[in-house]
Every structure is written in structure tokens, then in C-alpha cells.
């Protein structure tokens, strides 16, 4: 067990810090599979009928609850276990994440075999969701410690992996389902079991590779610069103090508003473009894939840009440009230009992804790197809230609007509401100020 301890992961002199990003990505690409869960919806909704749903089969809505539970537990477990993650180190945390996430997949496979919906919720949702939370924050915290000179780029690399999990997990699951499908099985149970094994190998690879820098390490030739204008501090704040500061809650609102405005589009993308532009389902599926790529690319691009222009400045750009793009979407429909619509919504999704990737570096700027993983864990409860707020606004209002107006006009008022959310986020971001020195931890306490 000493191999899993934090002390065992302290890097030896001469260690190349660029070996850490592959370790982080190896974990995030696995747990990012949750974004590809929709591939399992239709197969799991016809386990008895095999070729079509019959009486006694689960509905797609019932299956989708497992996805919601998993995302909710991501934020909650990250908040609850954040301090343990910082204390135990990334290797032990990554192994714990692997056990929970892959066990969740195994239990989901058993839920298919025994046709027990509660087991799907307990396995993929509850236990797997805890694995998501642990696996999400540990690599991010570690990378920021290795790249104090480029924290935005560092977090972008890891969280880009999470956003890209569906690009691998989705097609992989689809091919495995086809491979194992038979006249008596939809192939989902076997697929979940195989994916559990493959992901366990990848996550263990990441856990073995990961290292933390020795105490006091910094990149050669790099000199920390205190910049009040850019809200960057060389001091540190403990998690128990950080979450009581106004800065924490301003950033909570910032993340919640940014995610709410983007995730609504992501969850309703296919029916939205079909209703607004009458495109085919196949074209709509391609649009969804393109949005996923925008989400993925934005995580690295915008977070890297934040190292140049500052975190506060980049979030101002997210909110102002995002609001402008939302305002332009009804105009693109009026012009009948699906191309302009795709460009506008694609850019919105790059900033949705960028918001995820930039927030850990923003926290590090304000509160230091001492317990930034634990602080990040508590902050992403904003994601849990946004995962409810954004989709519910989009889904419920679009359904209600379709009852009183043509389907192609049902979304325009919602876009204006999203502008309102972004303005709230902009105000919260503008209110962020440096953390008062009275909250800083003394060097002896950090040690």
C-alpha cells in the first residue's frame, strides 16, 4: 500500500513534468465516457424485446436517470472528498476513482443481466459517479502544481481529455454493442463489462505514471510574479476558509451561469436544429458531433489563452461574446443560414468547454495551490446545479412554446433568457477582487 501513498509519488530530481499530462489524460478520457452514455439508452430500453421495446422494458427516460445521478454525484463527491484527495495524493485517488468507476460499469452490466433498474442507478449512477468526482479533480490539481507558469494550459490539457471521453467511449461502445448483439441479447451488458476492463487498464496506467513535485519545486528559470491586477497571488488559502469568502461564491455563480448557458444547447442540439432548419436526423447527428469537437477544442484553446490575458478577462470575453452570439442566433434563422447558425452555436460551445477548463486556474490564481483541488471540488457543485438548470430551461420552455407557436420559433425566447444568465455571470465576474490577506495560510501551516 505504500506505493499508493503521496510520499511514493514525489518526483525524483530530473523528472520530466511533461510525463504528467498523459497520466492525467489517461484518467480523464476514461471517466469522460459519461458524456457518451446516450449510446446505451436505446439498447437498454429493449432488453426484453431485443429488437424493439416490449412490456416490462425500461423506458429511455428511466435509463437516463442513471446519467443524471452520475453527474450529480460527480459534483457532490468532489466536494465531499476534496480534502481527502489533497491529503492522499493523486495516485491513491486515481486508483480509488478506477475502482469506483469500473465497479459501476460492472454493476451496470449485472443490472442488464438481471434486469434490475435500481442496480443500474446504484452502479453507474451512485458508485460510478463517485469515481467521476475523484478522477476529475485529482489530475487537475496535480497538473497545476507542475505548471505554475502555465496553469490555464495545464488544466486545459486534463479537462480536454474529459470532454473528449465521448469521442472514444461513444464509438467504442457502439462497435462493441454491434459485436456482442445476438438474437437473444442487445449486447449492452457485455459491452459494459469489456469497457470496465479496458478503462481499468488505462486508469491504472495513469496512476502509475503520475508524480507530484517536491516541496518548493518550480520550473527552471521561472520567477513567480505577484499581480494584483490579474488577481494572481503567491499566497495560499485553505479550503475551509476559501469557501467562506465572497470570491468563492462569485466564481460559483460564474461557473454556474456559463455552464447553464452552454449545456442547454448541448442537451437539445439534435431536435433544436431539426425544428429550426428542418435538417435530416443524420445531419442533426453530425451537428451534435461537431458541437462535441467545439467543446473539446475550446477547453484547451481558451484556457491556454487565459494564461496570456488573465482569467478575469477571458471570462468577460466568454460572457460578452457568448451573449452577442446568442442574440445573433434568431437572426441566422431569419436568414435561413444553417451555416451561420452552426458557427454561432459552435463558438458558444467552445466557451462552454473553456469555462470548465479555466475555472481551476482562476481558483489557483485567487487561492493559491495549497488545497486548490479541494476548493475546485466544492466549486463544481455549481456544475451539478447547472446540469439541472440549463437543460430544464431548454427542455421545458421549448415544449411549452411548441404548444402555442410553430416549432421553428420555439427557441428564440429561450436564447434571450440565456443572454440573461450570461449577464448575471458577467456581473459576478466583474465583482471578483483579490482575496484579503487575512485569509492567507502561513507557510508553517501549509507544511
Closest of 439, 380, 389, 438 to residue 418, by C-alpha: 389
User: For residues 285 and 343, is the Cβ–Cβ distance under 8 A?
Assistant: no
**pLDDT attached to residue 289:** 77
**pLDDT score at 267:** 65
Range scoring the smallest mean pLDDT among 94-98, 273-277, 346-350:
273-277
| Helix (H), strand (E) at residue 2 | none
**Which pTM was predicted?**
0.82
Q: Distance between CA atoms of 105 and 257, rounded to whole angstroms?
A: 31
pLDDT at 444 over 60: no
Mean pLDDT computed over 355-359: 91
Residues 371-421: pLDDT tens digits? 888 899 999 999 888 877 887 787 778 878 888 988 888 888 889 999 999
Domains of the chain, earliest start first: 16-209 (1.20.1250.20), 229-446 (1.20.1250.20)
pLDDT in tens, 36-48: 887 888 889 999 9
- Copy the grid coordinates of residue 98: 478506477
When mean pLDDT is compared across 53-57, 96-100, 106-110, the lowest value belongs to: 53-57
| Cβ partners under 8 Å of residue 412, min gap 6 | 329, 330, 333
Cell 501549509 identifies what position? 446
Query: Mean of the per-residue pLDDT values for the chain?
Result: 89
Q: How far apart are CA 161 and CA 21, in angstroms?
A: 10
Rounded alpha-carbon distances, angstroms, from residue 292 to 203, 268, 269, 285? 23, 13, 11, 11
Distance of CA 176 to the CA centre of its chain: 25
The residues with which 212 forms a beta bridge, in sequence order, are 10
Query: Hey, what's the torsion of the CAs at 70, 74, 75, 79, to 10 degrees?
Result: 140
The dihedrals phi and psi of 301, each to the nearest 5 degrees, come to -65, -55
pLDDT for position 44: 94
User: Residue 50: what are its φ and ψ, rounded to 5°?
Assistant: 65, -60
- Which range has the top average pLDDT, 214-228, 287-301, 326-340? 326-340
User: What is the reported pLDDT for 443?
Assistant: 57
Residues in CB range of 386: below 8 A, 6 or more apart: 255, 256, 257, 259, 260, 263
Distance CA 67, CA 208 (A): 29
pLDDT at position 286: 81
Return the sign of the alpha-carbon dihedral for residues 155, 158, 164, 170: negative
Place of cell 508553517: 444
**pLDDT exceeds cutoff 70 at 233:** yes
CA 368-369-373 angle, 5° bins: 120
What pLDDT shows up at residue 230? 60
What cell does 104 get?
459501476
C-alpha distance across the termini of the chain, in Å: 23
Lowest mean pLDDT among 53-62, 112-121, 380-389: 380-389
> pLDDT tens digit string along 141-179?
899 899 988 888 888 887 888 877 877 888 888 889 999
CA dist 95 and 114 (Å) reads: 28
Beta-carbon contacts of residue 173 (< 8 Å; ≥ 6 apart): 33, 36, 39, 40, 191, 195
Amino acid at each position: 500500500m505504500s506505493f499508493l501513498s503521496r510520499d511514493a509519488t514525489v518526483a525524483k530530481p530530473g523528472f520530466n513534468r511533461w510525463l504528467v499530462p498523459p497520466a492525467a489524460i489517461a484518467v480523464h478520457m476514461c471517466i469522460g465516457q459519461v458524456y457518451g452514455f446516450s449510446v446505451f439508452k436505446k439498447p437498454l430500453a429493449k432488453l426484453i424485446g431485443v429488437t424493439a421495446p416490449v412490456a416490462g422494458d425500461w423506458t429511455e427516460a428511466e435509463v437516463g436517470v442513471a446519467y443524471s445521478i452520475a453527474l450529480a454525484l460527480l459534483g457532490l463527491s468532489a466536494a465531499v472528498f476534496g480534502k481527502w484527495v489533497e491529503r492522499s495524493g493523486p495516485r491513491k485517488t486515481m486508483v480509488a476513482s478506477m475502482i469506483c468507476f469500473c465497479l459501476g460499469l460492472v454493476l451496470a452490466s449485472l443490472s442488464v443481466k438481471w434486469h434490475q433498474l435500481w442496480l443500474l442507478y446504484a452502479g453507474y449512477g451512485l458508485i460510478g459517479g463517485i469515481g467521476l468526482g475523484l478522477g476529475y479533480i485529482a489530475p487537475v490539481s496535480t497538473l497545476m502544481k507542475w505548471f505554475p507558469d502555465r496553469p490555464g494550459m495545464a488544466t486545459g490539457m486534463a479537462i480536454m481529455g474529459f470532454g473528449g471521453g465521448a469521442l472514444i467511449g461513444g464509438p467504442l461502445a457502439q462497435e462493441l454493442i454491434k459485436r456482442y448483439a445476438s438474437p437473444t441479447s442487445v449486447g449492452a451488458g457485455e459491452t459494459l463489462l469489456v469497457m470496465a476492463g479496458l478503462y481499468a487498464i488505462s486508469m491504472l496506467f495513469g496512476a502509475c505514471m503520475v508524480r507530484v513535485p517536491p516541496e518548493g519545486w518550480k520550473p527552471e528559470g521561472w520567477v513567480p510574479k505577484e499581480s494584483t491586477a490579474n488577481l494572481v497571488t503567491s499566497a495560499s488559502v485553505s479550503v475551509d476558509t476559501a469557501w467562506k469568502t465572497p470570491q468563492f461564491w462569485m466564481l460559483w455563480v460564474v461557473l454556474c451561469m456559463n455552464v447553464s448557458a452552454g449545456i442547454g444547447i448541448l442537451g437539445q442540439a439534435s431536435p433544436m436544429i431539426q425544428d429550426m432548419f428542418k435538417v435530416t436526423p443524420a445531419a442533426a447527428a453530425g451537428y451534435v458531433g461537431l458541437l462535441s469537437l467545439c467543446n473539446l477544442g475550446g477547453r484547451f484553446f481558451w484556457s491556454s489563452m487565459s494564461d496570456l490575458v488573465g482569467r478575469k478577462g477571458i471570462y468577460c470575453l466568454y460572457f460578452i461574446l457568448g451573449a452577442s452570439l446568442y442574440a445573433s442566433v434568431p437572426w441566422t434563422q431569419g436568414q435561413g443560414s444553417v451555416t451561420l447558425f452552426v458557427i454561432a452555436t459552435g463558438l458558444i460551445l467552445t466557451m462552454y468547454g473553456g469555462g470548465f477548463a479555466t475555472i481551476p486556474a482562476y481558483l489557483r490564481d485567487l487561492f493559491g495551490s495549497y488545497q486548490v483541488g479541494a476548493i475546485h471540488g466544492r466549486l463544481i457543485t455549481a456544475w451539478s446545479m447547472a446540469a439541472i438548470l440549463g437543460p430544464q430551461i431548454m427542455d421545458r420552455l421549448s415544449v411549452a412554446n411548441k404548444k402555442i407557436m410553430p416549432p421553428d420559433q420555439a427557441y428564440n425566447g429561450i436564447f434571450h433568457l440565456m443572454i440573461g444568465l450570461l449577464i448575471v455571470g458577467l456581473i459576478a465576474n466583474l465583482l471578483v477582487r483579490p482575496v484579503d490577506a487575512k485569509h492567507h495560510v502561513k507557510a508553517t501551516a501549509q507544511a
